[in-house]
Amino acid sequence: MAGSGKTTLLQALAAHLGATDTPAYLINVDPAVADLPYEPNIDIRDTVDYGAVMEDYQLGPNGAILTALNLFATRFDQVLDLVTARAPDVDYVLVDTPGQIETFTWSASGAIISEALAAALPTVVLFVVDTQRASSPMTFVSNMLYACSVLYKTRLPLVVVWNKVDVAPAGCAQGWMGDYDGLSDAIGDDPSFAGGLARSMALTLEVFYEAIRSVGVSALTGEGLPALLAAIADAAAEYEREVAPDVAARAAAAAAAAEERQQGHLASFRPSATGHGATSPTPPPR
Amino acid sequence: MEPPPVTTYAQLVLGPPGSGKTTYCKGMAEYLRGLGRDVAIINLDPAAPSTPYDATIDVAALVTTPAVAATHGLGPNGALIYAFEYLAANTDWLVAALRPHRGKYWLFDMPGQVELSTHNDAIRGLLSALTRGGGVRLAAVNLVDAAHCADVGKWVAALLVSITVMFQVELPIVNVLSKVDLVEAYGGLENIEQYAEGMDLEYLVGALDDDPRLTKYAALNRALVGLVDDYSHVRFQTLSITSQESVGALVKVVDKANGYMFSEMDAAGLMAARVP
Q: What pLDDT shows up at residue B198? A: 62
Report which of A241, A4, A227 is spatially closest to residue A130, judged by C-alpha positions.
A4
CATH code for residues B8-195+234-256: 3.40.50.300
Q: Indicate whether B121 pLDDT > 90.
A: no
Conformational region of residue B232, where left means phi above 0, alpha means psi within -120 to 50, and beta covers everything else: left
Residue A107 one-letter amino acid: S
Q: What is the DSSP letter of A100?
A: S
Chain B residues in contact with A97 by the CB 8 A cut-off are: none
ipTM over 0.90: no
How many CB atoms neighbour CB A115 within 10 A? 15
- Mean pLDDT within A7-19: 92
Phi/psi at A221 (nearest 5 deg)?
A: -95, -15
Judged by CB atoms closer than 8 Å, whether chains meet at A139 and B117 is answered as no
Q: Minimal Cα–Cα distance from A21 to chain B, Å?
A: 33
Phi/psi at A23 (nearest 5 deg)?
A: -65, 145
C-alpha pair distances (Å), A173 with each of A181, A206, A214, A215, B239: 13, 13, 11, 11, 38
Q: What pLDDT shows up at residue A192? A: 61
Chain A residues in contact with B226 by the CB 8 A cut-off are: 204
How many CB atoms neighbour CB B200 within 10 A? 12
- B residues 29..48 contacting A (CB < 8 A): 45, 47-48
The pLDDT tens digits of the residues spanning B31-71 come to 999 999 999 999 999 888 778 888 999 998 999 888 888 88
Chain B residues in contact with A140 by the CB 8 A cut-off are: none
Are B238 and B177 in contact by the 8 Å Cβ rule? The answer is: yes
In our burial notation (b when 16+ CB lie closer than 10 A, e otherwise), range B174-193 reads bbbbbbbeebeeeeebebbe
Conformational region of residue B134, where left means phi above 0, alpha means psi within -120 to 50, and beta covers everything else: left
Judged by CB atoms closer than 8 Å, whether chains meet at A1 and B114 is answered as yes
What dihedral angle (degrees, nearest 10) is formed by the CA atoms of B231, B209, A97, A25?
A: 160
The pLDDT tens digits of the residues spanning B160-182 come to 877 777 777 778 889 898 988 88
- Chain A CA closest to residue B65: A61
Chain A residues in contact with B158 by the CB 8 A cut-off are: 149
Judged by CB atoms closer than 8 Å, whether chains meet at B118 and A143 is answered as yes
Give the span between the Cα atoms of A95 and A76, in whole angstroms.
Answer: 13
Q: What is the DSSP letter of B7?
A: P
Specify the CATH superfamily of domain A6-268: P-loop containing nucleotide triphosphate hydrolases (3.40.50.300)
Judged by CB atoms closer than 8 Å, whether chains meet at A211 and B217 is answered as yes
How many CB atoms neighbour CB A179 within 10 A? 16
Q: Write the burial class of residue B28 (CB in 10 Å: 0-12 exposed, 13-18 middle, 19+ buried).
A: buried
Judged by CB atoms closer than 8 Å, whether chains meet at A138 and B168 is answered as yes
Q: Indicate whether A186 pLDDT > 90.
A: no
Best of B163, B190, B222 to disrupt the A interface (most A CBs within 10 Å) is B163
Q: Minimal Cα–Cα distance from B173 to chain A, Å?
A: 13
- Chain B CA closest to residue A154: B154
Q: Which of the pair, A162 or B193, is modelled with greater confidence?
A: A162
Judged by CB atoms closer than 8 Å, whether chains meet at A149 and B160 is answered as yes
- Chain B CA closest to residue A134: B119
Are A80 and A118 in contact by the 8 Å Cβ rule? The answer is: no
pLDDT bucket at B192, cuts 50 / 70 / 90: low
B272 close contact with A: CB closer than 8 A: no
- Chain A CA closest to residue B117: A142
pTM of the model: 0.83
Are B177 and B149 in contact by the 8 Å Cβ rule? The answer is: yes
Rg, Å, chain B Cα set? 19
C-alpha pair distances (Å), A97 with each of A10, A13, A161, A165, A245: 10, 15, 15, 22, 26
DSSP structure string for A201-268: HHHHHHHHHHHSEEEE--TTT-TTHHHHHHHHHHHHHHIIIIIHHHHHHHHHHHHHHHHHHHHHHHHH
Largest CA-CA distance found in chain B, in angstroms, rounded? 69
Judged by CB atoms closer than 8 Å, whether chains meet at B115 and A2 is answered as yes
- Mean pLDDT within B248-253: 93
Are A218 and A163 in contact by the 8 Å Cβ rule? The answer is: yes
Q: Please give the mean pLDDT across all residues of chain A.
A: 86
Chain B residues in contact with A101 by the CB 8 A cut-off are: 114-115
Chain A residues in contact with B172 by the CB 8 A cut-off are: none
How many CB atoms neighbour CB A266 within 10 A? 10
Closest CB to B112: pick one of A62, A130, A245. Answer: A62
Give the span between the Cα atoms of B92 and B113, in whole angstroms.
Answer: 23
pLDDT bucket at A181, cuts 50 / 70 / 90: confident
- Chain B CA closest to residue A250: B212
- Mean pLDDT within B233-259: 88
Chain A residues in contact with B16 by the CB 8 A cut-off are: 102, 106
pLDDT bucket at B267, cuts 50 / 70 / 90: low
Closest CB to B160: pick one of A138, A145, A243. Answer: A145
- Chain B CA closest to residue A249: B212
Judged by CB atoms closer than 8 Å, whether chains meet at A249 and B77 is answered as no
pLDDT bucket at A136, cuts 50 / 70 / 90: confident
Chain A residues in contact with B77 by the CB 8 A cut-off are: 2-3, 99-100
Q: Minimal Cα–Cα distance from A192 to chain B, Å?
A: 9
Print the SS3 string covering B189-219.
Answer: CCCHHHHHHCCCHHHHHHHHHHCCCCHHHHH
Judged by CB atoms closer than 8 Å, whether chains meet at B220 and A211 is answered as yes
Map residue A91 onto helix, strand or coil: coil
Judged by CB atoms closer than 8 Å, whether chains meet at B214 and A152 is answered as yes
Chain B residues in contact with A197 by the CB 8 A cut-off are: 163, 166-167, 231
Give the span between the Cα atoms of A153 and A105, in whole angstroms.
Answer: 8
Q: Indicate whether B187 pLDDT > 80.
A: no
Give the span between the Cα atoms of B250 and B141, in whole angstroms.
Answer: 10
Task: Show me where the domains of chain A are located.
Answer: 6-268
How many CB atoms neighbour CB B262 within 10 A? 11
Task: Show me where the domains of chain B are located.
Answer: 8-195+234-256, 199-233
B143 close contact with A: CB closer than 8 A: no
A93: β partners: A25
pLDDT bucket at B199, cuts 50 / 70 / 90: low
Q: Minimal Cα–Cα distance from B124 to chain A, Å?
A: 12
Q: What is the DSSP letter of B70?
A: H
Q: Minimal Cα–Cα distance from A94 to chain B, Å?
A: 22
C-alpha pair distances (Å), A228 with each of A126, A215, A236: 10, 6, 12
pLDDT bucket at B191, cuts 50 / 70 / 90: low
